[in-house]
Structure 1
């Protein structure tokens, strides 16, 4: 499985990096919207919505919300990012609530209508703000594409660091009922890997030495929230008794399995970037 996982990553990573660095923001936003909506499709299945027509309608509703945000952001001067910034703040607020949800495993764990409503709301509050954060970071000047790559690379490094540290040193379970394989040692390894990557690669994005302490602060919160995103998707899968959101990507599961950490991390990074001005 590790070999398959590695081979798939070697294919996906260069494509993702090339897209981030080479595509203009409108095209990057469109491509990421497609990926996020595929993840949303898988999320809707985890909420016990088996009817493809019902899932399709909900998917279109979220797509129209993305379109509405873009349309409402137009101005005579070319465009405004205010709505995207508001959505980013909403996203950070939502993930704070999601962290509390993780402490109450049984909340919305049944299969009735009320549980679906909460999980459907969670889907929109996860996907739309993350997409807005991605577009906001990529559109920032200067070097928005490099800042977005840095944000993604922090999450990727943390994920890899947690995986290998957990396999080598893992003893204490992080959240055994939600994700039995995740350990405290793995999380510490992920934080260390993500922080090292952030501090080493930040100058590539244009950061000055004076900005590195602020970037370190944002990086550690980005990593911690990425763990929340990962655990929250694991919670959804536990509630319906599945291991992966789908089998679309060999060795990795579904698209949602690959972007769950990113959904939570991007709004935090974008907000930190706005607050500290780097």
Structure 2
């Protein structure tokens, strides 16, 4: 497959603008990360509603956005468990509300859970303003970006058999393997972050591998969802990437796996 020069240029330009803003908000932590997550949840709720209820998207958006905002705010103000309980409760309420408007209760509830899990876990991983929290969130970012960029470059340069042509005809096995290697290396390199309480290069590398696998699974899953709803892109917010959901689909899955890895590492005494 030949390199798409125009597409790569748009991707690069978008990344140059968005990546530093994301990292800066994560570095500040505290209310800044809360504000970013609330804004992201609103934008993602819009895209989810427009995909899942195109003819009557506003009631779907209101139900999903309200549940997401309450979940994230609760996770920030209280703790992870309260945020997760609020998310499940909000998903149930969103489903009931959608049903009263003649919309799919399953799509409304799933939208809250799909977006809410990584949003709530992001707040937990950041852990206020600590250097340890900064490490865990940037680990998820680094692993996802490494997997995404390497998969695109290696897949474009090498080509070969398709990974899952039914839902994502452009992805190849060569890109998949390249992405996993890059994600693992990113996990190892992230241990160089000072005062991070990183769990060591072996565990961090394994987290990179698992996070990279999750990131590519998230990308494929969103492709399947878009196929189900009959849309090419989740939106048109980001040049070269479509919507915000198109950009963070892998990150959403990676955050869940990285959070599970942090919890397991704590239980095993491998990191903060």
**Short-chain TM bin:** 0.7 to 0.9
Paired residue total = 247
Stretches of structure 1 that go unaligned for 5 or more consecutive residues are: 74-79, 91-112
Secondary structure at 1:182's aligned position in 2? Answer: strand
Q: 1:210 to 1:43 in 2, by over 3 A?
A: closer
Alignment of structure 1 residues 1-278 onto 2, 5 Å: 1-21=7-27, 23-58=28-63, 59-70=65-76, 73=78, 80-84=79-83, 116-139=104-127, 141-204=130-193, 206=195, 211-277=200-266, 278=271
Q: Distance in 1 between matches of 2:59 and 2:11?
A: 32
TM superposition shift of 1:129: 1.3
Aligned-CA RMSD value: 2.6
Taking structure 2 as the reference length, the TM-score comes to 0.81
TM superposition shift of 1:124: 1.4
Q: Distance in 2 between matches of 1:43 and 1:142?
A: 33
Secondary structure at 1:50's aligned position in 2? Answer: helix
Q: Deviations over 1:67-123 (max 9, x none)?
A: 34445x2xxxxxx444457899x9xxxxxxxxxxxxxxxxxxxxxx99944333322
Q: 1:154 to 1:86 in 2, by over 3 A?
A: farther
TM superposition shift of 1:54: 1.0
Q: 1:114 to 1:276 in 2, by over 3 A?
A: farther
Larger relative contact order (Cα-Cα within 8 Å, sequence gap ≥ 6): 1
Q: Contact 1:87/1:129 (CA < 8 Å) preserved in 2?
A: no
Q: 1:68 to 1:199 in 2, by over 3 A?
A: closer
Q: Contact 1:171/1:185 (CA < 8 Å) preserved in 2?
A: yes
Q: Distance in 2 between matches of 1:132 and 1:217?
A: 23
